[in-house]
Amino acid sequence: MNVVVFDLETTGLSPEKDGIVEIGAVRIVGNRIDETLKYETLVRPTTALGETMRIPWYAERVHGISDAMVRSAPTIDEVLPEFLEFVAGDAVVAHNIGFDGGFMRANARRLGLNWSPAAELCTVQLSRRAFPRERSHNLTMLAERLGLEFAPGGRHRSYGDVQVTAQAYLQLLQRLGQPA
C-alpha cells in the first residue's frame, strides 16, 4: 500500500480555534520512503473567518516558527487543496493521527473540501502494540527506541518529524509482522 506520512505544526491544540503553520509530508511507495515525493510548506495561520492570526509565544517556543517566518506564506485555503491533491486519497500516517487528522478535517470542512484518505494510521498506536510495557510513546522516545535520529533542527518541524515518523512506521510494521 502506498501511504503519505504527514505532520503539522500549529498555533495550539484546538482544530476549531487554532491554525496550521506548517505541513510536511513524504510518500512511502512499496516499502520505501521516496524523498522525491515530498510536500513541505509554511502556512500563514488564519482564523475561521480568514483573518491572519498570530503565533503564540508558547507555540513558537515548541516549533520555532515565528510570525515573521509565515508573513508571506500561503494561507490554508491556498495550501489545503494542493495538499489534498498530493495525498490523492491514499492512506495517511501520522504520529498521533487524532491531532493531525482533526486539524485536516476541521480545515477541510471550513473550506468546503473533503478530507477522505483511504485510511488514517497512527504510529502512536503501532508503538503501543510494539512496545506494550513502555509508558511513553511520544516521537522522541519512539525514535530513541528504534535507533532513529532527527536531522539537526528537525525535531518539532513538520518535515523533520515526518522523516522520523516514516522510518518509525516502516520499522513498527516490520516488528509487528505486518506488510507495508
Measured distance CA(1)–CA(18) in Å, rounded: 32
DSSP state, residue 153: T
Measured distance CA(63)–CA(11) in Å, rounded: 10
137 noted as active-site residue: no
Quote the Cα angle for 156-159-160, to 5°. Answer: 55
Which of 63, 95, 137, 156 is catalytic? The answer is 156
Measured distance CA(179)–CA(131) in Å, rounded: 18
Measured distance CA(85)–CA(119) in Å, rounded: 16
Q: Among all chains, which residue has been given the C-alpha cell 471550513?
A: 110
Q: Among all chains, which residue has been given the C-alpha cell 503501543?
A: 128
Q: What backbone torsions phi and psi does residue 158 show, to the nearest 5 degrees?
A: -50, -55
> Could you list the active site residues?
156
